[in-house]
Amino acid sequence: MQRFTQLFLEVDRTTRTSEKTAALRRYFEDAQPRDAAWALAVLTGQKLIRRVSYKRLRQWAGEVTGFDDWLLSECHSSVGDLSETLALILPPADAPGPSGEPLHRVVEERILPLPLMTETQQRDAIRKAWKTFDGHERFLFHKLISGNFRFGAARKVVINALAAAADIDPAVMQHRLAGTYTPSVENFEALLRGGDDVEDPARPYPFFLAHQLDDDPADVLGDVADWRVEWKWDGIRAQLIRRAGQTLLWSRGDELITDAFPELRAVGDRLPDGTVIDGEVLAWDGDKPLLFGQLQKRLNRKRVELMLFMDVPVVFMAYDLLEHAGDDQRAHSTDQRRETLEQVLIEDEALRLSQLVEAESWEQLADLREESRAHGVEGFMLKRADAPYGTGRTGKGLWWKWKVDPYTVDCVMIYAQRGTGRRSTLYTDYTFAVWNGKQRGEGELVPVTKAYSGLTDEEFAKVDKFIRDHSVGKKGSFRQVKPELVFEIAFEGINESERHKSGVALRFPRVSRWRTDKQPEEADTLVDLKRLLAKRV
Amino acid sequence: MGRNLVEPTDRGLYCAAGDFFIDPWRPVDRAVVTHAHSDHATWGCDRYLCSEPGVEVLRQRVQNDADIQGVAYGELLDLNGVKVSLHPAGHLLGSAQVRVEHAGRVEVISGDYKVQPDGTCDAFEPVKCHRFITESTFGLPIYRWRDDAEVTADINAWWRDNQEAGRTSVVFAYALGKAQRILHSVDASLGPVVVHGSVQRFNDVYRAAGVALPDTTTSTEESRKTCKGVGLVVTPPSTLGTPWLRKFAPYSTAFASGWMAIRGNRRRRGVDRGFVVSDHADWPGLLQTIADTGCESVGVTHGYTQALVRYLRQQGMDADIVPTRYEGESDTEQTGETTDESG
Contacts of B267 in chain A (CB under 8 A): 421-422
Whether A205 maps to a domain, the answer reads no
Claim to verify: residue B132 and residue B235 sit in the same structural domain: no
**End-to-end C-alpha distance for chain B, whole angstroms:** 31
Whether B43 maps to a domain, the answer reads yes
Tell me the pairing of strands B168-172 and B193-195.
Answer: unpaired
- Quote the minimal CA–CA distance from B7 to chain A in Å: 21
Domain that holds residue A467: 407-535
**Could you say which of B258, B275, B292 is where a domain stops?**
B275
pLDDT confidence bin for A42, thresholds 50/70/90 = very high
pLDDT confidence bin for A472, thresholds 50/70/90 = confident
Contacts of A80 in chain B (CB under 8 A): 262, 264
Q: Do A412 and A484 contact (CB within 8 A), yes or no? A: yes
Residues ≥6 apart with Cβ < 8 Å to A250 = A204, A238, A239, A241, A256, A257
Domain that holds residue B152: 148-275
Dist CA A170 CA A166 (whole Å) = 10
Claim to verify: residue A349 and residue A425 sit in the same structural domain: no
Are residues A74 and B140, on separate chains, in Cβ contact within 8 Å? yes
Whether A496 maps to a domain, the answer reads yes
The DSSP code for A371 is T
Going across the sheet that includes A379-384, the strands are A211-212, A399-403, A379-384, A227-231
Are residues A65 and B329, on separate chains, in Cβ contact within 8 Å? no
Mean local confidence (pLDDT), B290-318: 96
Claim to verify: residue A358 and residue A226 sit in the same structural domain: yes
Claim to verify: residue A83 and residue A129 sit in the same structural domain: yes
**Could you say which of B230, B256, B275 is where a domain stops?**
B275
pLDDT of A210 above 50: yes
For testing contact with chain A, the best of B136, B138, B268, B324 (most A CBs within 10 A): B268
- The closest alpha carbon to B106, from B223, B245, B5, B221, belongs to B5
Whether A173 maps to a domain, the answer reads no
pLDDT confidence bin for B327, thresholds 50/70/90 = very low
Task: Give the three-class secondary structure for A183.
Answer: coil
User: Which of these ranges, A359-363, B169-173, B322-326, has the smallest mean pLDDT?
Assistant: B322-326
SS (H, E, C) A107-170: HHHHHCCHHHCCHHHHHHHHHHHHHHCCHHHHHHHHHHCCCCCCCCCCHHHHHHHHHHHHCCCH
Whether B192 maps to a domain, the answer reads yes
Whether A65 maps to a domain, the answer reads yes
Number of compact structural domains in chain A: 3
Claim to verify: residue A264 and residue A390 sit in the same structural domain: yes
| ipTM given for this complex | 0.92
Catalytic: which of A55, A143, A156, A232?
A: A232
**Could you say which of B230, B249, B275 is where a domain stops?**
B275
Whether A370 maps to a domain, the answer reads yes
Whether B184 maps to a domain, the answer reads yes
Whether B290 maps to a domain, the answer reads yes
Claim to verify: residue B45 and residue B100 sit in the same structural domain: yes
Dist CA A315 CA A353 (whole Å) = 10
Please count the other Cβ atoms lying within 10 Å of the Cβ belonging to residue A453: 10
pLDDT of A524 above 70: yes
Dist CA B18 CA B107 (whole Å) = 13
Claim to verify: residue A381 and residue A411 sit in the same structural domain: no
Whether B1 maps to a domain, the answer reads no
CATH number at residue B206: 3.40.50
Whether A171 maps to a domain, the answer reads no
Are residues B332 and A426, on separate chains, in Cβ contact within 8 Å? yes
pLDDT confidence bin for A534, thresholds 50/70/90 = low
Claim to verify: residue A294 and residue A361 sit in the same structural domain: yes
Mean local confidence (pLDDT), B177-202: 97
CATH number at residue B326: 3.60.15.10
Claim to verify: residue A6 and residue A75 sit in the same structural domain: yes
Q: Rounded mean pLDDT of chain A?
A: 87
**Could you say which of A119, A144, A169 is where a domain stops?**
A144
Is A403 catalytic? The answer is no
CATH number at residue A51: 1.10.3260.10
Of all residues in chain B, what percent carry a pLDDT higher than 70? 94
The 10s digit of each residue's pLDDT in A54-90 is 999 999 999 999 999 999 999 998 998 899 999 999 9
Mean local confidence (pLDDT), B51-78: 95
Claim to verify: residue B207 and residue B239 sit in the same structural domain: yes
Nearest by CB to A425, which of B262, B273, B327? Answer: B262
**Could you say which of A357, A387, A403 is where a domain stops?**
A403
A40 — phi, psi (to 5°)? -60, -40
Dist CA B56 CA A296 (whole Å) = 63
Number of compact structural domains in chain B: 2
Claim to verify: residue B183 and residue B136 sit in the same structural domain: no
The 10s digit of each residue's pLDDT in A89-136 is 999 999 988 999 999 999 999 999 999 999 999 999 999 999 999 999
pLDDT confidence bin for A51, thresholds 50/70/90 = confident
Q: What is the CA radius of gyration of chain B?
A: 20
Nearest by CB to B272, which of A14, A458, A464? Answer: A14
Whether B57 maps to a domain, the answer reads yes
Claim to verify: residue A303 and residue A330 sit in the same structural domain: yes
